[in-house]
Structure 1
């Protein structure tokens, strides 16, 4: 007998949709957490599909159930309707998919009301004349489904900026400040009280991040600094300034992770009395529904369809297992620690914390997961990289990758160029250290009372080196009128300077082999150059791929015009030097099927970058409407090369590094808070970590000045 898909669908459509709905729910469990750290497209696409297909499948299945006549042999079909509401609630690890979901929470509320009314109608038409025990089991599951789906809507509403701002005004002082137990004061872990489990360093950072999380929420909604921080909060703010770079970075990254929990998971509604009780009641209700259904329901003259019974068992088992897992994960979460520290039930706090029972439960949950909860929460440490010289020296070649040709034919050339010529680089410990020092120094006097940088981009670093240098660069418009224009100018100028100083840098580094302090400084020059390139390429990556993460007006037209200017010079240079004709066939084939060719990729491109940079410098282009920014970039390079003769290459490289750090800190501070919040759903950015770090250090400086 031939397989006929249409007949199978007509007969088993509802059963198939129910299992698909459960499958989407299960698929979201492992995929939901990948957004906390930067995830590849290969994983983000299934997550997006699962999140939205869960809604679509649920609506379609409810519609089919409302139209189905449910014959006697399929009497279990009405019992399935509440499971569609349960699945719509989704796992605890995902509430809103994107930041705009929180802002449009009323739309989710409308869908919730419509779906609940539809399931109510299904139960009414099928159960009014049916089995009483089946009706009781269905009503139990209906209550669970409504509660779980409603919780998701409440979580999405809780991630709204107005809701966060409201929670800060309504939450009592004790609830804001005492998310830490008495033996955990101080940033590094102390010895636990008698009977309590020892706390490792990262766990201590996480607990103290909870303690000060209200400050991160204030920063997110642009609320005013706390007027009178409590004694414990002031102690911890002072301890933050005394921390080394590693500790401060860990603290800032964990603050962003907690903010991610509030915006994109159900943490804000789970870790409350209603949230814990709902999970316990849901597990018991599912077990009771299963008992009523299979122990008391049914009649001797009706045999349930075997497939229906199997589907029902699968739905009940899946729901029960996930609810039990939800209870365990909720109780073992660090959010529960914060909840226990602030509860008014002192006996519960003593029983759970002072005896060490909660610590043992948390260790058990972490063991089951097979990984540290704290390490998963940390920022990935990856910085995007994009280089204009690299892009312009490669993208017009005859051997364009095959995928690029397809993208161009389909009208996606701009998207392909952004992705194909971008790469990632891991932030080094040395760069973390230098950024921390720069932020620490800047927050002493460089921010106003509202935490906003007083000076223009690059001004702090240039004036610290030489006040006349800043005035000269400003007069020549070499910093740009808009921030993004300044990034383009200094990005090109930096590459020109590094290309022209290449031999001098190598000689200075080689001279460091003689020993002494000067030798140690010279030996570190390659590391400084790497920092400069990494920061310069990172800022260009943001400008090209995420311009909303940068302050000021977008400069897309200036960027495209400058790319055209560089590409024209690259094309002329390659044709004159016969670069393409000398490449071997194997290299062409590799590049033909290359999916990524960023500045940090395995395909060598440094020679092309240096050649093009030297060509631009030697040409000395003048300002014109057709070549608007190359003259300013050349001006930056000329100024820096002139200072090499005065102060040496080491001093100029450190100045250039400080200028790029100032660009990063300025972008972090002046970028809209909403942009930082949006980017958390895809792993976050370096600028977001710098923003939260600067905000905490500024609050400490502000409170200290009041004392």
Structure 2
């Protein structure tokens, strides 16, 4: 009589590979659904990010372990030839879903490892077939060949996507074409008709209005893409008309365009979409789908002639149908994406153009970022802890990130669109209160200023809320509170996006000193703000307008100081308001990475008037300074 351990071992050996293969397919389905984190926002974003991160790591590990298990298995352990037939499906799963090739920017730098992994895993899969050649049915061996080809295509696409998004390659892609000198290029086009503004170019191309916004966003993305590699745009002074959002586009439309641009950037850095949405990519996908479909048809004809286990037959059908579903679902996602619609509608083919026109209705319209994170420092300090066993959790989470996140909420910020149109001012000087409050924004580090003004805003808000109904406080009060809590969210949960300064935990260190505490300094600012009502005979709306303008200046300052690579890195966590603001400012020419320069002497000598060619953005360095 066998012992319990022997029974468990027997069951494990029998079901080990079967469980791994089914689980590997399940992980692929989860990743293709939730892999694109740009589509998720709000409170569930962190949960989705954690799920995606876990599945992203688990997917490669699971497929690799399954292949390794097959590699070390003995002949007597392989109970069915269908188990060997599953090998190329594991290779296909290693290619990963199209919605996520990299979880973070650092993953793109590992493309050489994935290239080696492609060669190694293909070798392992082939060796498994050679090792168990006598156990496999000849027809099943032939059926595995198409899946092998598809697996190599998918894995190769992943390696290429990682390579294209790597830091060095991403930088070189900006300067990848055009060897002619600046003078030669400019003079060769001197007599050619150019497009002055983007709108004139789109009118000339007769772009349909229902996806004109898509073309506008794509062209602007091509112009500003170098900045996300921390490269500078040195543009001739006379080309300042490319910063046209200031006059021709309202705030809501501008946020929509910026959101689409960041979507293009996210796809370029973290997905396969730019690789697949090309002529070669579409052909390869059609070949892949045809090969998998033909394998399914052939399997239907072959499987009935052999006495295979019903469970193994079911798993085989599940793998083949799952592969077809992944291909079809990926194709729909690609073609209905911004990349896909722009590519389809730009082809000189009526059928493809019509398909793109129809798919516009299936794509979810990008309305720009609609919610911003909120974190109140006072609520975090004064409210009871939301996590039990906090002391135990601090061993694994010394920064108390989980508790900070639980005190974070997301709110709509539609009212901010009106304020951001004003582009910011120097509110303290303009309102003659710089002598009293100027030290809080100029004599201390920016992170210290954020703490002081956040505390002051919270104190004034709660004081006014105590004396007045919320509806009487006005829009500037609500805007100030939203911006204040958002900046504190950045300080607590995204400190890498802020300039270097004191950390948020310094607040607690300073609490013990009455004279040096950020808390009491913030309270002093709050008292001074309340005295402005009597000093200048202001009403509450004037006071809150001043506070809102201070926060707007801080927001634009932080957005400008944050490196563009950090903005790109933050996309892995979903949309971020600060990134939208930074890119919107760049469209208005407000960025340290944009320099307006005069014409070189050699061009001045020939009295050349520079022009901007929207249809030649592949040679961007040739006609920018």
Q: Which residue of 1 aligns with 2:617?
A: none
* Residue deviations 1:15-51 (CA, integer Å, cap 9, x gap): 2211111111112222223453325144444333322
| Structure 1: distance between partners of 2:97 and 2:402 | 34
Q: 1:261–1:68: structure 2 CA closer, same or farther, 3 Å change rule?
A: same
Distance apart, 1:655 and its partner CA: 1.4
2:217–2:261: 8 Å Cα contact kept in structure 1?
A: yes
Q: 1:236–1:524: structure 2 CA closer, same or farther, 3 Å change rule?
A: farther
Match of 1:140, SS state, is: helix
Are 1:319 and 2:331 an aligned pair? no
Q: 1:82–1:243: structure 2 CA closer, same or farther, 3 Å change rule?
A: same
Distance apart, 1:670 and its partner CA: 0.6
Equivalent in 380, 389, 406 of residue 389 of structure 2: 406
Distance apart, 1:321 and its partner CA: 2.7
Equivalent in 255, 262, 265 of residue 249 of structure 1: 255
Match of 2:501, SS state, is: coil
Unaligned stretches of 5+ residues in structure 1: 174-181, 343-347, 443-459, 510-522, 566-620
| Structure 2: distance between partners of 1:478 and 1:698 | 24
Q: Which residue of 2 aligns with 1:357?
A: 354
1:73–1:305: 8 Å Cα contact kept in structure 2?
A: no
Distance apart, 1:387 and its partner CA: 1.9
| Structure 1: distance between partners of 2:130 and 2:569 | 42
Match of 2:225, SS state, is: helix
* Residue deviations 1:215-266 (CA, integer Å, cap 9, x gap): 34222112221536999xx766425532111111111111112111112211
Distance apart, 1:104 and its partner CA: 3.2
Match of 1:186, SS state, is: helix
Match of 2:199, SS state, is: coil
* Residue deviations 1:280-316 (CA, integer Å, cap 9, x gap): 1111222333455554x6897x633333222222211
Distance apart, 1:634 and its partner CA: 4.1
Are 1:482 and 2:439 an aligned pair? no
Match of 2:372, SS state, is: strand
Are 1:677 and 2:625 an aligned pair? no
Unaligned stretches of 5+ residues in structure 2: 180-194, 600-609, 611-625
Equivalent in 35, 51, 54 of residue 49 of structure 1: 54
| Structure 2: distance between partners of 1:333 and 1:417 | 36
Distance apart, 1:69 and its partner CA: 4.0
Q: Which residue of 1 aligns with 2:602?
A: none
Q: 1:240–1:317: structure 2 CA closer, same or farther, 3 Å change rule?
A: farther
Are 1:115 and 2:121 an aligned pair? yes
2:255–2:368: 8 Å Cα contact kept in structure 1?
A: no
2:292–2:324: 8 Å Cα contact kept in structure 1?
A: yes
Match of 2:230, SS state, is: coil
TM-score (norm 1): 0.72
Q: Which residue of 2 aligns with 1:535?
A: 483
* Residue deviations 1:545-599 (CA, integer Å, cap 9, x gap): 221121223424422224x44xxxxxxxxxxxxxxxxxxxxxxxxxxxxxxxxxx
Aligned 1:445-460 pairs, distance under 5 A: 460=426
Equivalent in 69, 74, 79 of residue 80 of structure 2: 74
Are 1:29 and 2:35 an aligned pair? no
1:485–1:558: 8 Å Cα contact kept in structure 2?
A: no
Q: Which residue of 2 aligns with 1:559?
A: 507
Match of 1:437, SS state, is: coil
| Structure 2: distance between partners of 1:496 and 1:15 | 61
Q: Which residue of 2 aligns with 1:418?
A: 404
Q: Which residue of 2 aligns with 1:628?
A: 517
Match of 1:384, SS state, is: strand
| Structure 1: distance between partners of 2:447 and 2:125 | 52
| Structure 1: distance between partners of 2:472 and 2:318 | 62
| Structure 2: distance between partners of 1:544 and 1:494 | 17
Q: 1:105–1:483: structure 2 CA closer, same or farther, 3 Å change rule?
A: farther
1:332–1:361: 8 Å Cα contact kept in structure 2?
A: no
Aligned 1:522-671 pairs, distance under 5 A: 525-562=473-510, 564-565=511-512, 623=515, 627-647=516-536, 648-649=538-539, 650-671=541-562
**Segment drifting more, 56-65 vs 544-553:** 544-553
Q: Which has the higher contact order (CA 8 A, sep 6+)?
A: 2
Match of 1:217, SS state, is: helix
| Structure 1: distance between partners of 2:573 and 2:368 | 13
1:487–1:540: 8 Å Cα contact kept in structure 2?
A: yes
Match of 1:695, SS state, is: helix
1:219–1:695: 8 Å Cα contact kept in structure 2?
A: no
2:232–2:595: 8 Å Cα contact kept in structure 1?
A: no
Aligned 1:438-449 pairs, distance under 5 A: 438=423
| Structure 2: distance between partners of 1:246 and 1:477 | 32
Q: Which residue of 2 aligns with 1:217?
A: 225
Equivalent in 395, 416, 430 of residue 415 of structure 2: 430
Are 1:464 and 2:430 an aligned pair? yes
* Residue deviations 1:86-140 (CA, integer Å, cap 9, x gap): 1122221111122321233333334333322221221222337855543333222
| Structure 2: distance between partners of 1:121 and 1:358 | 43
Q: Which residue of 2 aligns with 1:606?
A: none
| Structure 2: distance between partners of 1:525 and 1:704 | 46
TM-score (norm 2): 0.81
Q: 1:36–1:332: structure 2 CA closer, same or farther, 3 Å change rule?
A: closer
Are 1:391 and 2:380 an aligned pair? yes
Equivalent in 175, 186, 200 of residue 199 of structure 2: 186
Match of 2:422, SS state, is: helix
Aligned 1:58-457 pairs, distance under 5 A: 58-69=63-74, 74-127=80-133, 131-171=137-177, 186=199, 199-200=209-210, 203-225=211-233, 227=235, 237-239=243-245, 241-293=247-299, 295=301, 303-339=307-343, 348-352=347-351, 356-363=353-360, 366-367=361-362, 372-375=363-366, 378-379=368-369, 381-395=370-384, 404-411=387-394, 412=397, 414-427=400-413, 429-438=414-423
1:206–1:334: 8 Å Cα contact kept in structure 2?
A: yes
**Segment drifting more, 79-88 vs 206-215:** 206-215
2:91–2:155: 8 Å Cα contact kept in structure 1?
A: yes
| Structure 2: distance between partners of 1:43 and 1:539 | 23
Match of 1:227, SS state, is: strand
| Structure 2: distance between partners of 1:140 and 1:230 | 57
Q: 1:239–1:406: structure 2 CA closer, same or farther, 3 Å change rule?
A: closer
* Residue deviations 1:47-80 (CA, integer Å, cap 9, x gap): 3332222112101110121123456862232221
Match of 1:349, SS state, is: coil
Are 1:38 and 2:41 an aligned pair? yes
Match of 2:102, SS state, is: coil
Q: Which residue of 2 aligns with 1:512?
A: none
| Structure 1: distance between partners of 2:14 and 2:417 | 61
Match of 2:365, SS state, is: helix
2:341–2:357: 8 Å Cα contact kept in structure 1?
A: no
